[in-house]
Each structure stands twice: as C-alpha cells, then as structure tokens.
Amino acid sequence: MISNRKFVLETVVFVCGAVVMIFELVGSRIIAPYVGTSIYAWTSLIGVILASLSIGYYVGGYLADKKPNIKPMALIILFSAVAIAFSAFTKDIFSGVISTFQITLEMKSIMISLILFAPASFLLGMVSPYAVRLRMSDINKSGRIAGNLYAISTAGSIFGTFLAGFYIIPNFGSTNTLVILSVVLLFMAVLLFLGTRIEKSFKVGVFLLIVFLGLTQMVSIIKQKILVTDVDTEYNRILVFHSTDLATKKPILALVTDPYGTQAAMFTDGTSDLVFDYTKFYRLFSYFVPNPTNVLMIGGSAYTYPRDFIKNYPDTKMDVVEIDPGMTTIAQKYFGLNDEKNLTIYHQDARIYLNENKKKYDVIFGDAFNSASAIPFQLTTKEAVIKEYDALNDDGVIMVNIISAIKGEKGKFARAEYTTYKKIFPQVFLFAVQNIDNGNETQNIMLVALKSEKVSKWESPNKEISGFLAQVWKKPIVNDMPILTDDFAPVEYYKRVSL
C-alpha cells in the first residue's frame, strides 16, 4: 500500500487525465495538414483514442491485480511519456508517408491515428485502474475510492481541455505541446518512484525538460531549412514554404492548411499578378457591377485577392471576414498585407457576421474553406444564402468559389449548392474555371448569383473578362439534389465523394 504517499496518486491521476485530453486536441492539429479536419478525420482520431483507452483500462486493471505495486505504474507512465515523445518527433514522417497511399480518407486517418496516438492512449488508460487498485485498502469503501479517483481523472480532463484550447496549443504549437506533455509525464513517473521527495523529483524533472527542449530546438532548426514557418493558430495549423507554380514555373510562397491543395500563394520573383486562376476569376464581377462602392469578401486566407482588389479599386471599400486572426498575422508577415485605408478586417465566423450584418454590398466574394476543400456547412445553406441576398444591393452579385465537379457523383455538392442558390436568387450560373469541356472533373467552380433579373449578353470588349464569360456552363444541370439547410447540409459527405 502507499498510504505514506498522500495525494501523490491523486495528483498523478489528475495530470494524466489532463494529458489525455490535451493529447487528443493537439492530435487534430497534427493530422490536419495530411488528412484535413473533416468529420472523418475527427471520427478516426476520437475512435482510435477511445478504443486505446478502453483496452488500457482493461489491461491496467488486470496488471494491477497481479502486481499491485507503485513501480509498475511509474513505468507505465514513463513509457507513455516516451510514446508521446515518439509522436512528437515522427509525426510528420509517418503522416507524410501515409497521406501518399492510394486509400480512402478514413483509412489514412485511422492509420495515422493508430501509429501516433494509440500507444500513448493505451498506456494512459492503464493509469486510473492501477491507481484504484493501489489506493484500495478497505473493500467496504471500494466504490467511493474508485469514484473519487475517476472523478479526479475526469476533472483533470476538463482542466486539460480548457488549458489546451485556450492557452497551450495557440501559444506553443503542436510539437512543443507534445514535448511539454512528455516532460510532464516523465516528472509524474519520477514523482511516483521517489514518493514524497518532491524537491528531488522537481530537479530531475527540470533536467529532463532541458534535454527535451534542446531536442525540440534541434528539430526546429532542421525544419526551418525546409519551411518558412509552421504555426498553430486558434483555428489552423498553417505551413508556409517556398515552392514553384506548376503553370508558370515561377517561384512562389505557398500557404497550406490541409492536404488537398495549396490554399494561397504569391509570386516571389516580382510578378504582381495573382497565382491561381480562380482568384483571377473574381475579376468577372466587373462585368455585372462595373463601379462597386462596397464589397465583402468571406474568407481572407493570405489576402492575395483583397490586395489585388484594393490595388485595382483604391476608392472602393472592402470588408474581409476572416475567422482566424493568426491567418491575418501570417498574411501581414509573409504575404505583404499592409494597413489599407479602405480595407476593414473582421475576425469572426462569417455566418455570425452575416446574421448580424446591417450593411449593403454591391459584391460578395466567397472563399471560405475548412477541410477537404469543403465550405463550412453553415455558409452553404438556404438560411445563409438568404442573409447574403439581404446583404446585397438591388443589382448586386455574389461569387462563391467551390471545389467540385458538375456532373455525376463528384458533382453532388455543386448541384446541391446551385439548387440552394436558385431557391433564393433569380439568376444563378456555374463557371468551370479550369475545364469547361469536362463536367465530371473536380475543379474550381465559380458560382455566380445575381440579385437582378437583367439578361446578360455574355460578351465583353475586355479580353480577360471575355475569357471568363466563355467558361459559363451552358449544358443542363440535373435537379437531383435537395436544398441545403441548417438542419441538413452533409457538405463533407458530398465533398468526400468528389475527392
């Protein structure tokens, strides 16, 4: 028994409970660049961790009955620290390799989760039943003892959830968070080995912290030779790196938040034009609204198009709604975003902004994505479209970038969104940005909705605009998809079949 180690077990159980939840939350950031943050990725991550904890509970209870001793429990926590350190230093290697496999998104998510998160979760699951067995001294109080320790573990999990989301991950990033967790567990193992000798335990813990921080700094230096930056914000894990544009072969600075493409880029050789065709496509607005006064952009990303717009329309006011302040900081630091007198940035969820908006706009640009090239569902629904309609002036236009095919299984999302907008707007068109000849190809589709019923002539003296107009989809669009609503909007499912 360990009656002379008052509160040591309770402290260890509380801390391990906190570590489990922090580990799970940081896991979502680790896998995001490789499998995104869709419901499929979260399902795999949570399912694997819960399964591992369950097995750990069973094995921990079995071992605790066979060897009810403090040292085996300390070894379990020590091994869990090593397992988390393994995840910290190999996460990008395993995730990068698995993401290249020709398997479904679900299988990629499960495989990454099994390799990186199952071992530590299994070991941490063994802690609570072991602690219950070690604390057990009176069979008549067994229920109370078990209840107390599991309550302490749950309290630790609650504490860890808030600590991770509100402080640790935004301030330290994924790798450093894992290192911190590993060091904390090492300290807990030492504390169990040394019992009440807290001072000695603290000294050992500080030494281990210094060693781990040294290793982390070495990894950081190596990564800096490859990446410009790797940052965890409140909403994203953002990677910025130097690359080459496949179309022009020119050097670019690229920004990535998920594995399904480059979310933003700018040329680094002095070329002032936009890198991606779909961002150039936004210029089509001038065909419908030649002289805008007020425009809104939903989704700022690296602010490449807002900068281009302000350059060409310096007297027009532009509001940008970008949910992630960290993304704006990245744009300011690496992508040339400056304080523009006519550019106002709102760090807010775009649906909330639309719900509260009282302004009127001539043009609304949509370029908000979360994961797997999917627009956040709350921006795709009939209720959101009504808010956009109400926010437009009488001759206003909305242009929404979506990634989908138009025909077949891969075109389900485009057709669902088209049907939804058609319910509200009198005129809705789809423009195939990359390939107008193949409706089965997944590509950037520009959805254009007009509040006015004026008939377009579909011709322009401007060569660039004329080229955009030629990309309008003139073939029939099958009306086989239900309208998206706040109650029913399986956007990620539709997107899954298009990948």
219 and 245 in a single domain? The answer is no
Question: Cα(495)–Cα(499) distance, rounded to whole angstroms?
Answer: 7
* 27 within a domain of the structure (yes/no): yes
295 and 414 in a single domain? The answer is yes
Q: Does residue 311 surpass a pLDDT of 90?
A: yes
What does the pLDDT read at residue 9?
Answer: 87
What does the pLDDT read at residue 124?
Answer: 95
pLDDT interval class at 1 (50, 70, 90):
very low
Tell me the average pLDDT across 206-234. 60
What does the pLDDT read at residue 96?
Answer: 79
In this structure, what CATH number is given to the domain that contains residue 146?
Answer: 1.20.1250
What does the pLDDT read at residue 496?
Answer: 64
Domain count for the chain: 3
295 and 181 in a single domain? The answer is no
Q: Does residue 419 surpass a pLDDT of 60?
A: yes
Most confident of 161-165, 230-234, 361-365: 361-365
* 26 within a domain of the structure (yes/no): yes
* 328 within a domain of the structure (yes/no): yes
* 1 within a domain of the structure (yes/no): no
What does the pLDDT read at residue 3?
Answer: 44
* 3 within a domain of the structure (yes/no): no
* 376 within a domain of the structure (yes/no): yes
258 and 293 in a single domain? The answer is no
192 and 81 in a single domain? The answer is yes
In this structure, what CATH number is given to the domain that contains residue 354?
Answer: 3.40.50.150
Domain holding 383, by residue range, is 277-498
317 and 197 in a single domain? The answer is no
163 and 192 in a single domain? The answer is yes
Whole-number average pLDDT of the chain = 87
291 and 368 in a single domain? The answer is yes
pLDDT interval class at 459 (50, 70, 90):
confident
pLDDT interval class at 230 (50, 70, 90):
confident
pLDDT interval class at 147 (50, 70, 90):
confident
What does the pLDDT read at residue 464?
Answer: 95
258 and 238 in a single domain? The answer is yes
What does the pLDDT read at residue 210?
Answer: 57
pLDDT interval class at 219 (50, 70, 90):
very low
**Candidate from 120-124, 210-214, 217-221, 333-337 with smallest mean pLDDT:** 217-221
Query: What's the pLDDT tens digit per position in 377-388?
Result: 999 999 999 999
263 and 211 in a single domain? The answer is no
Tell me the average pLDDT across 239-253. 91
Q: Does residue 148 surpass a pLDDT of 90?
A: no
* 2 within a domain of the structure (yes/no): no
